[in-house]
Amino acid sequence: MPAMYKRGLVKALVLVGSAQEDAASRDNYWNQVLKPLEARYQAIVENPNLKVIFMEASVRGAVIDLLESLTGVVQGCHVSTVHQLFGWMRPTIASLVHLLSLYHNYNQIVELILELYGETARRILCYFTPSESKAFYEASLALIKTYADHQVGRRSYSKEAEEEQYRDILLFMELLTNLLSKDFIDLSPPDAQELDEAVTAADVCLFGLNIIMPLMSEELLKFPSLCLQYFKFITFLCEIFPEKVSGLQADLQQNLVSSLRLGLTSLGVDPVFSLCCDFVQVLGCYMVRNNVRDTPIFEQMRSFLKLFLDLILSHQINSDLIPNSSATLYVLICLYEDSYQELVQILVQSQEDSNKQRLLTAFTELTVNTPLTAERIHRIRFRDTFDKFIVNVRGFLFVK
């Protein structure tokens, strides 16, 4: 039977286990279904000659088969069995880090390990108790560190290598995005005790962001699914932890801003443009409300004000995106009011004499009754006012 079909078979067998009503019959069933998997896994990882034989076809095939089966176990977890099954899988999931290190040049196994972690985060993390979540975060952090260690200095410009890296990073970001979802969907038992977590989802995701950013080349962002997943991840991260994003290292913030500029101007995908707008809005609102000024990202984001003005006034974006764009522009005006006034003066002076006063009046009316506080109600008001502004100036405005 092909390995991928075993995933579905194991999933079905595990689902049957959730129908066992009493604990004794369920334990007996698990012994028949899970013990053989455990025995096969231990036979491989505890083999003293593993570092010698790990690249033999039979050993690689057995590892692939086990990873497919373990993914099937995760997919077959039910709310009534998740804690028992994760208790059984917990040591195995943690030890997969060593397999990743061993097979870091064998792409199929790397992908299967990343996929197993991603499936765990996507399907069952929401049911984990705090102690289970902590264990999985720690295992994920170790996995990411191991992956990063083997990426250092790795450069290949072949098309095949680029596609392999694309699949790795896509699975990587899906894992990080799913880790963040625990903050929104937490279905852990009501009597679960809270812990002071040594490692949190934020720690894992911010560390993961440090790994991803240097790898996100313009060539990789041309893969539509990877591009969309990347901007979903950074926007999701910013929505949950804006204070941590604003406190990132300067070089990482610069890379982040560069990728956002690319998403706004070069990639030509509406969902990506909207996600970039959402990111700028969320971070900008946080910075306005908390008076964040003396940070590198404050200056790095200043250029977005002129960019959005240029994109909107020169009709370089679809009309469907104007509402989100104008709301983002409003937040940037709140953040950089002095720069906004300078840009308005430059734009006014670039017009014919007969239109200068008309344009200045239109810009004055745009913000005169809208407090620059970045609050949602004022974003909505500005958006409506901006629609009238565009209609008003479209007939005479000249933009280079």
| 39 and 169 fall within a common domain | yes
Predicted confidence (pLDDT) at residue 312 exceeds the cutoff of 90: no
Q: Are residues 247 and 138 in the same domain?
A: no
Within a domain: 210:
no
Looking at the domain assignment, is residue 72 inside a domain? yes
Residue 197 in any domain: the answer is no
Tokens (6 digits) for 144? 């990411």
Which parts of 22-56 fold into alpha helices (H)? 23-33, 35-45, 50-53
Q: Is residue 158 part of a domain?
A: no
Domain membership of residue 206 (yes or no) is no
Co-location of 55 and 98 in the same domain: yes
Binned at pLDDT 50, 70 and 90, residue 251 comes out as confident
Phi, psi of 225, rounded to the nearest 5 degrees: -65, -40
Residue ending a domain, choose from 264, 286, 301? 301
* pLDDT score, position 157: 45
If asked whether residues 124 and 167 sit together in one domain, one would say yes
Give the confidence band of 288 by pLDDT, cuts at 50, 70, 90. very high
Shared domain check, 247 and 98: no
Structural domain contains residue 204: no
Q: Are both 272 and 357 inside the same structural domain?
A: no
Does 322 lie in the same domain as 259? no
Check whether residue 295 and residue 314 sit in a common domain: no
Whether 374 and 295 share a structural domain? no
**Are 247 and 321 in the same domain?**
no
Exposure string for 133-168, b = 16+ CB within 10 A, e = fewer: bbbbbbbbbbbbebbbeebeeeeeeeeeeeebbbbb
In the chain, the number of structural domains is: 3
Phi-psi region of 268 (alpha: psi -120 to 50; beta: other; left: phi over 0): left
Residue 368 lies in a domain: yes
For residues 169 and 55, membership in a common domain is answered with yes
What does pLDDT average to over the chain?
A: 88
Which residue range is the domain that position 276 belongs to?
Answer: 216-301
Choose one of 301, 319, 339: the last residue of a domain.
Answer: 301
Residue 183 falls within a domain, yes or no?
Answer: no
Q: What is the distance between the alpha carbons of residues 354 and 150, in angstroms, rounded to a whole number?
A: 64
Burial class (CB in 10 A: 0-12, 13-18, 19+), 197: middle
Give the pTM: 0.85
pLDDT 10s digits, 27-62: 899 899 999 999 999 999 999 999 999 999 999 999
**pLDDT, tens digit (0-9, with 9 covering 90-100), for 322-347:** 889 999 999 999 999 999 999 999 98
Residues 396, 320, single domain; the answer is yes
Per-residue pLDDT averaged across 9-13, rounded? 94
Identify the pLDDT of residue 352: 84
